[in-house]
C-alpha cells in the first residue's frame, strides 16, 4: 500500500469529528467526546509507549499489529475493563471505516483492523433492587419539606421511566404530556434520539402535585428538576443526582439489609428493567423501553437467578413426594445450569 501523507491523519480526524459525527450523523456532544477520547488514547499510546512523536504520527501507524498491542497494553498494563478496551477498539474501527470511505487506498488498512476480535467480556449478573428495597429507598425523603418532595419525585420518576441520568436532567416541563391518555414523557437519549415513555397513574398523581409546587408559571422550557440560582432555575447536574441518591441510599440501608451500598443513578434504570422483565415483558420490549436499538444489548438480563430457577423447578414438579427444596442449594443449582 502506498504511504499516505502525514497531514492526512489530522485532516481526517478534524473532518471525522467536526463534520461527519457532528453534522452528518448528528451525534450528541457526549458521544463525540467519548469517541474523541478513545481515538486520542491510541495516539497517546503510540506517543508514550511506542515513542512516535505526535507530529510525525500518520495513518501508516494504524496497523493491525499496533492496534493489537494497544489492546494488550490496555488490558495488561492499564488494567482497564474489557468493556472499555472493546469500546476503544470499536472507535478505531469506526474512524478507519470513515477514512477508507474518504480515501480508498486506506481500505486495506481498515479491513486488517476490522477483523481484530473483541476481548471476551465477563457476563456479570444484573444489579437491581428488590421490590422491598425499592420501597424502602423511595420512603426515605422527608416529603413534608420542599427538598424532600423534589428528591422523592426524582427517584419515582427515574424508576418509572427507567431513564439515563442525562435524560433525566434534560427533561423539560414541556416534555410531559399529562392531559392525554395514556400520559407520557418524551425523552431525548443518545444521539439525540427521542422516545415516548408511558407514565403510570400513580406517577402522574405525584407529578401533578410536584408541578403545582415547583412550576407555578408552567413554563414549558423550564427544567423539570432544577435548583434555584442567581439567574433563576437551573437544571440539576448529573453529579447532583448521584449525590442525592447516594445520600438517601445510605439512610435506607440502615433499615433494609437488601439495599446494596453505593446506590447510583443507573441502578434505578436496571431495577425498573429487571422488574419489567421478571413480570413478563419480553426482552425485545424491555430493550425498546430503555432506548436500545438491539435487544442483544441487554441479553444478560435474561440470565436466570436462583428465585427464577426454583420457581421453574417447582412448577415442573408440583407433586414430587416430600417438602424439602433441595434444589435451592446453590451447588445443586449450579449443576442444573451446567456450571
Q: Is the pTM above the cut of 0.85?
A: no
pLDDT at 317 over 80: no
pLDDT of res. 288? 86
Look up cell 429487571; give the residue: 274
Residues in CB range of 163: below 8 A, 6 or more apart: 157, 171, 187, 197, 269
The set of cell numbers assigned to 60 is: 501508516
Longest dimension (CA), the chain: 78
Contact assessment for residue 85 and residue 71, using Cβ atoms and an 8 Å cutoff: yes
Tell me the H-state helices in 197-302: 201-214, 238-252, 265-278, 283-290
Q: What is the pLDDT of residues 210-243, one digit of tens each?
A: 999 999 999 999 999 999 888 888 999 999 999 9
Give the three-state DSSP class for 234.
Answer: strand
- Mean pLDDT, range 6-11, rounded to an integer: 72
The set of cell numbers assigned to 182 is: 395514556
- CA-CA distance, 236 to 96, in Å (whole number)? 37
Q: What is the pLDDT of residues 270-289, one digit of tens each?
A: 999 989 888 888 888 888 88
- CA-CA distance, 230 to 223, in Å (whole number)? 16
Closest by CA position to 245, among listed 160, 152, 127: 152
- CA-CA distance, 134 to 248, in Å (whole number)? 11
Amino acid at each position: 500500500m502506498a504511504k499516505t501523507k502525514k497531514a492526512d491523519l489530522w485532516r481526517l480526524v478534524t473532518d471525522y469529528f467536526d463534520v461527519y459525527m457532528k453534522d452528518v450523523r448528528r451525534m450528541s456532544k457526549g458521544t463525540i467526546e467519548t469517541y474523541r477520547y478513545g481515538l486520542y488514547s491510541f495516539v497517546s499510546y503510540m506517543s508514550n509507549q511506542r515513542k512516535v512523536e505526535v507530529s510525525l504520527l500518520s495513518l501508516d501507524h494504524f496497523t493491525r499489529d499496533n492496534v493489537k498491542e494497544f489492546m494488550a497494553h490496555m488490558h495488561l498494563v492499564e488494567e482497564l475493563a474489557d468493556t472499555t478496551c472493546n469500546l476503544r477498539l470499536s472507535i478505531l474501527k469506526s474512524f478507519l471505516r470513515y477514512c477508507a470511505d474518504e480515501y480508498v487506498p486506506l481500505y486495506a488498512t481498515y479491513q486488517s483492523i476490522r477483523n481484530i476480535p473483541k476481548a471476551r467480556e465477563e457476563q456479570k449478573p444484573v444489579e437491581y433492587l428488590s421490590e422491598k428495597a425499592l420501597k424502602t429507598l423511595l420512603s426515605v425523603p422527608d416529603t413534608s419539606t420542599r427538598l424532600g418532595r423534589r428528591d422523592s419525585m426524582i427517584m419515582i420518576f427515574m424508576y418509572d421511566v427507567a431513564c439515563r441520568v442525562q435524560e433525566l436532567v434534560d427533561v423539560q416541563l414541556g416534555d410531559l404530556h399529562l392531559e392525554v391518555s395514556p400520559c407520557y414523557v418524551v425523552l431525548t437519549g443518545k444521539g439525540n434520539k427521542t422516545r415516548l415513555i408511558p407514565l403510570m397513574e400513580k406517577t402522574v398523581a405525584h407529578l401533578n402535585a410536584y408541578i403545582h409546587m415547583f412550576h407555578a408559571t408552567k413554563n414549558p422550557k423550564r427544567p423539570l428538576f432544577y435548583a434555584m440560582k442567581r439567574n433563576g432555575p437551573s437544571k440539576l447536574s448529573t453529579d447532583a443526582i448521584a449525590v442525592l441518591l447516594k445520600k438517601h441510599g445510605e439512610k435506607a440501608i440502615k433499615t433494609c439489609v437488601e439495599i446494596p451500598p453505593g446506590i447510583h443513578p443507573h441502578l434505578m434504570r436496571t431495577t425498573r428493567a429487571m422488574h419489567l422483565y421478571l413480570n413478563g415483558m419480553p426482552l425485545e420490549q424491555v430493550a425498546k423501553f430503555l432506548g436500545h436499538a438491539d435487544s442483544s444489548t441487554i441479553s444478560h438480563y435474561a440470565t436466570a437467578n436462583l428465585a427464577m430457577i426454583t420457581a421453574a423447578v417447582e412448577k415442573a414438579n408440583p407433586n414430587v413426594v416430600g417438602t424439602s427444596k433441595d434444589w435451592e442449594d446453590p451447588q445443586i443449582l449450579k449443576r442444573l445450569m451446567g456450571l
